[in-house]
Structure 1
Amino acid sequence: MREPTFWILTALVKQARHGYGIIQEVGTLSEGQVTLQAGTLYAALDRLHAEGLVAVDRDEKVDGRDRRYYRLTEGGTAALAAETERLARISRTAATQLAAVRPDLGPATA
């Protein structure tokens, strides 16, 4: 899973959001490390929708402008959970390797 996809799905975990809301939440969750452009976001949402990972929650008109809200589907939740586990697994592997040569960089011990 590409990093922008990971962050888009993560931004939708707690609630449905419209495009600008997704962009803001990704920026917040990634601590400013990921900045999505509108074109990139909407292309990704179209792809994620086609893959069944997100669904249209509702459409609204606010101040004369249309807003489409997206929500995470069960498939999207499962894909995000699998990616989260994969990232945790590879992080543990790297931490174990680092601990062999630099104990100060290895896994934390309780």
Structure 2
Amino acid sequence: MTEAMYYVLLALNQPLHGYAVMDVVKQVSNDRVLMGPGTLYGIIKRLQKDRLIVLEELDGRRKVYQLSELGREALLKEYHRLQQMVEDGKLMFGEGKSSER
């Protein structure tokens, strides 16, 4: 899963339309991850194809998306994978449990 996909899934923990997703991603990442509409809608299309998000409703011209149950599971799995990567890095930099002997 790409970094951008991860942040889009995080944002879609609540029903949002596309531009709101971009704002949430920007906020959650402390302005580190910025995406334009082309990138966002490419990711949304892929996530829908993979059944990780669903079209919740049409709010006028705006489409509102939300995580599916499969998407929630994928997000949690990726979250744990990223946590493990950080723990592995701590071992390499002498911050892990094995260095506390």
Q: Structures share a fold, TM > 0.5?
A: yes
CA offsets 1:39-73 (integer angstroms, 9 cap, x no match): 11011101100100000000011xxxx00000000
The DSSP-based 3-state class of the residue aligned with 2:93 is helix
CA distance in 1, matches of 2:19, 2:86: 31
Shift of 1:97: 1.4
**Superposed CA RMSD:** 1.4
Shift of 1:107: 4.5
What's 1:2 paired with?
Answer: 2
1:45-60 alignment, distance < 5 Å:
45-60=44-59
Shift of 1:78: 0.5
After TM superposition, where is structure 1 displaced by more than 4 Å over at least 4 residues in a row?
none
What's 1:32 paired with?
Answer: 31
CA distance in 2, matches of 1:30, 1:6: 11
Q: Which amino acid aligns with 1:36?
A: M
Shift of 1:90: 1.0
Q: Gaps spanning 5+ residues in structure 2: where?
A: none
CA distance in 1, matches of 2:96, 2:16: 36
Q: Which amino acid aligns with 2:74?
A: A
- By relative contact order (CA 8 Å, sep 6+), the higher-ranking structure is 2
User: TM-score, normalised on structure 1?
Assistant: 0.85
1:1-110 alignment, distance < 5 Å:
1-13=1-13, 15-61=14-60, 66-99=61-94, 106-107=95-96
Q: Which amino acid aligns with 1:59?
A: L
Larger Rg: 1
Q: Gaps spanning 5+ residues in structure 1: where?
A: 100-105
CA distance in 2, matches of 1:24, 1:3: 16
Give % identity. 30
